[in-house]
Amino acid sequence: MARHLITSALPYINGIKHLGNMVGSMLPADVYARYMRQRGHDVLYICATDEHGTPAELAAKEAGLPVGEFCAQQHHAQKAVYDGFSLAFDYFGRSSSAQNVEITQTIARELKANGFIEERSIRQVYSNADGRFLPDRYIEGTCPHCGYDKARGDQCENCTRVLDPTDLINPRSAISGSSDLEVRETKHLFLLQSKLAGEVAAWVDEHGKDWPTLASSIARKWLNEGLQDRAITRDLDWGVPVPADTWPDLAAEGKVFYVWFDAPIEYIGATKEWSDLDPANRDWKSWWYDVDQTVRYTEFMAKDNVPFHTVMFPATLLGTRDAWKKVDYVKAFNWLTYYGGKFSTSQKRGVFTDAALELLPADYWRYFLMANAPESDDTSFTWEHFAATVNKDLADTLGNFVNRVLSFSRKRFGDEVPAGKAAGEAEARLGEEIARLLAEYEEYMDALQFRKAAAALRALWSAGNSYLEEKAPWLEIKTDQEGAALTLRTAMNLIHLYAVVSEPFIPASARAMRSAFALADDTAPWVGQEEAKALASVPAGTAFTVPPVLFAKITEEDLESYRVRFGGAPEQAGGGASTGVETEGKPVE
């Protein structure tokens, strides 16, 4: 089978992420990776914390910690949350790793050797109050394009336009708040994107034609506006150092690479981190170097990350003239909003991932987010919609089916799957319907259309309920005990099938369903079409147990407590709702 390299946007280090960040990158990547593993593919799912840049330094300063110690603590805190969400990374690395430093510096040297990096004198904002040059994100002001008064010096999070610090109106220091700023001359390295624009455009034309419209349109918009040469170094204490053997003067000044230069390279760096843990059995280059025809690479990200992944990172790799693997498919997402407005930490509005896990198990959130993934447009999270989805789809359609089938069968036939008569016309119809719906589910999952896949999965669950209502074993048993046994045996086989095919969306619940049956050789990763039609994977005589209730309903009292804790509908749902994570020029990663 094919080898699949999967990466999701790197979560930035300065704090726990909210649900919009989860559904915009890591969760769909995990669902897809799980599904592809089940289908027999060789999968490597790589992610990492993105640890460089201004916000990391500012957050560490606020916490009163050295930035390295702060990042280490936050890495472990974020990883614990992702473990709680059952994100099955093959490796979750750190962009501050020695491997990423090595590869980033190597790529920079190659770009210089090929004429795509040059040193330029520029005029940069200097804060007299702080006694230092200010990196882009240390400067705040009013966006000249949309008027947002808290725009940062490299990107406006409201309109997402990329900025230079000198573009800002009424700029001020993000450190001291001082407006005593002046422009002085200093030197930085520039990636000459203008010289690579034609190659990037040709590459997007070739590879982007099959991307979702959201991803391809953003990439082409940037290309049509013209690629500008981009400064790729900053004046910071924390980051990948400019190598002294290539740029001794800049290295002596303490320049580091811009976070958006080294962060995508960390996909490669994290793979090397993974490889270095077991070098005898893992080869990071087999995933990243000279593998265009043997590896399919899929990236997952929210829309505000698309330009960097579809333009800047490809330009970086193309400019090396080396055979680095570049992305084949970019799965981009719109934004998840909170009642149409922004998630806000300061205003205590919206649900963050650690708090979500305090309320309810991960599967509740995983299913809801994927069933309502913001694929074609922004999606608004509301507690009312969340409760309705959980109660109808998970509690009533799936959970109730599992509980009533197993409980009724144990009560009337004991702790083994009953035999009953041979399958009849109703079972044949059911098998055909299940096989059809399973094929539909596979089609949508293969195409990374997650909302449609969730709808097909829901239809599979509903088919079981329709069969149960048609056969009504609670009535059937009064006149045809063997017929009722057949109905229950068939329904138990549906439960097992649901356990297998639901695993990408609700892995913990899938394990509970599958482990209900004492099947010694139950290792099949997927359900084939003929197997789905037969519905005979769980034979008569198999011992079973009744698992605890899979999904508890959310009550109106629960809803009221959630609204009080997290906020209800904002009085004014601000426009341009973003993922709300403050980062170095990238609100998601």
Break the chain into its structural domains and give their ranges: 3-96+259-380, 107-252, 383-534
CA distance 257 to 243: 10
Q: Is 71 annotated as a binding residue?
A: no
Q: Is 271 annotated as a binding residue?
A: no
Please determine whether the domains at 107-252 and 383-534 fall in the same fold group of CATH: no
Alpha-carbon distances of 219 from 152, 191, 311, 381, 411, rounded to whole Å: 22, 18, 6, 28, 60
Question: In the Cβ-directed half-sphere of 88, how many Cα atoms lie within 13 Å?
Answer: 18
Question: In the Cβ-directed half-sphere of 276, how many Cα atoms lie within 13 Å?
Answer: 11
CA distance 296 to 314: 16
Q: Are strands 379-381 and 336-338 parallel, antiparallel or unpaired?
A: parallel
Contacts for 345 with CB less than 8 Å, ≥ 6 apart: 15, 352, 580
Amino acid at 550: L
Q: Are strands 151-152 and 132-133 parallel, antiparallel or unpaired?
A: unpaired
3-state class of 380 per DSSP? Answer: strand
CATH class of 107-252: mainly beta
For the domain spanning 383-534, the CATH number is 1.10.730.10
Q: Is 159 annotated as a binding residue?
A: yes
CA distance 565 to 578: 21
Among the four given CATH numbers 3.50.50.60, 3.40.50.620, 3.40.190.10, 1.10.340.70, the one describing domain 3-96+259-380: 3.40.50.620
Structure tokens at 174: 């993000």
3-state class of 404 per DSSP? Answer: helix
- Look up residue 233 and give its DSSP letter: E
Q: Given this model, what pLDDT does residue 348 score?
A: 66
- Look up residue 324 and give its DSSP letter: B
The sign of the dihedral angle between the CA atoms of 178, 130, 186, 231 is negative
Q: Given this model, what pLDDT does residue 584 score?
A: 32
Angle at 157 between CA 450 and CA 337, to 5 degrees: 40
Q: Is residue 288 within 8 Å of residue 325, measured between CB atoms?
A: yes
Amino acid at 305: N
Query: Which residues are registered as beta bridge partners of 329?
Result: 298
The sign of the dihedral angle between the CA atoms of 525, 526, 531, 533 is positive
3-state class of 479 per DSSP? Answer: helix
Taking only the tens of pLDDT, the chain with its 589 residues reads 679 999 999 999 988 999 999 999 999 999 999 999 999 999 999 999 999 988 898 899 889 999 999 999 999 999 999 999 999 999 999 999 999 999 999 999 999 999 999 999 988 888 999 888 888 878 999 999 999 999 988 889 888 888 888 899 999 998 889 999 998 999 999 999 999 999 999 999 999 999 999 999 999 999 999 999 999 999 888 999 999 999 999 999 999 999 999 999 999 999 999 999 999 999 999 999 999 889 999 999 999 999 999 999 999 999 999 999 999 999 999 999 999 988 865 566 789 999 999 999 999 999 999 999 999 999 999 999 999 999 999 999 999 999 999 999 999 999 999 999 999 999 999 999 999 999 999 999 999 999 999 999 999 999 999 999 999 999 999 999 999 999 999 999 999 999 999 999 999 999 999 999 999 889 999 999 899 999 999 999 999 999 999 999 999 999 999 998 987 765 533 333 333 333 333 332 2
First CA to last CA distance, the chain: 31
Structure tokens at 572: 């004014």
Question: In the Cβ-directed half-sphere of 312, how many Cα atoms lie within 13 Å?
Answer: 23
Q: For the whole model, what pTM was predicted?
A: 0.91
Q: Given this model, what pLDDT does residue 586 score?
A: 33
* φ, ψ for residue 175, nearest 5 deg: -85, -55
Amino acid at 92: F
